[in-house]
Chain A
Amino acid sequence: GENVEQHPSTLSVQEGDSAVIKCTYSDSASNYFPWYKQELGKRPQLIIDIRSNVGEKKDQRIAVTLNKTAKHFSLHITETQPEDSAVYFCAASSNRGSSASKIIFGSGTRLSIRP
């Protein structure tokens, strides 16, 4: 079935350093890849997304890359700050028949920024 794997499950980086979270997906029909950030006790919020016709997208300190051939996609956060501490979920979605648009999530990465 459809599956998204996410690594690492926990990540601790020094403030100012970069953080990288990697995901792989199984459904070759996936064409939309959102990343959600969930702070403690709050709702998941979209921070960036990428579509399958694009290989890379950047928004300030956040960038995502997508390798469709390898079915890999990654989140890169540069110049990390304390407010980046949260759980990050990668996800994949596809347009296919009656299952169009449901999101398949990775298991999450708990990112901690050390001061």
Chain B
Amino acid sequence: EAGVTQFPSHSVIEKGQTVTLRCDPISGHDNLYWYRRVMGKEIKFLLHFVKESKQDESGMPNNRFLAERTGGTYSTLKVQPAELEDSGVYFCATRRYLRGGVDNEQFFGPGTRLTVL
């Protein structure tokens, strides 16, 4: 099966500009997560979709970040306006739904490297 894909692979923007990242999940994976790794630190959770609904957005840093998953397929993460501290690698991961809520593997995309100048 095709893996999780993300677009673009790299983005360089100036402070104050807007950037939209896209994630296409593995077909049939209802659960979609956004994570971010900043400056070689740990990978941090941003939010979790179950189909088109936001299940948990406790990791979103502030209201400059907006995630959507219209139709429960691909997801977008928009940063507006971007700040210097938003630089990092943004990962998307997806997971199948299992009855009983038992966790299983999250499959990661290749990430989008965002640089804010």
Contact = CB atoms under 8 A, between A and B. Distances in A.
Interface of A: 4, 6, 31-32, 34, 36, 42-46, 49, 89, 93, 95, 98-108
Interface centre among B4, B42, B108 (most CB of A within 10 A): B42
Interface of B: 3-4, 31, 33, 35, 40-45, 48, 55-56, 58-59, 91, 93, 95, 101-103, 105-111
Interface centre among A34, A89, A100 (most CB of B within 10 A): A100
Nearest to B106: A103
B45 A104 contact: yes
B101 A43 contact: no
5 contacts: A4-B42, A43-B109, A46-B105, A103-B93, A105-B35
A66 to B, nearest CB: 14
A98 B55 contact: yes
Please list the 10 inter-chain residue pairs (A to B) with the smallest Cβ-Cβ separation, ordered nearest first: A32-B103, A105-B43, A107-B42, A43-B108, A102-B45, A95-B101, A43-B110, A44-B108, A105-B42, A93-B103
A102 B33 contact: yes
Contacts of A107: 41-42
Contacts of A32: 102-103
Contacts of B107: 46
Given A43-B109, A43-B111, A101 B45 contact: no
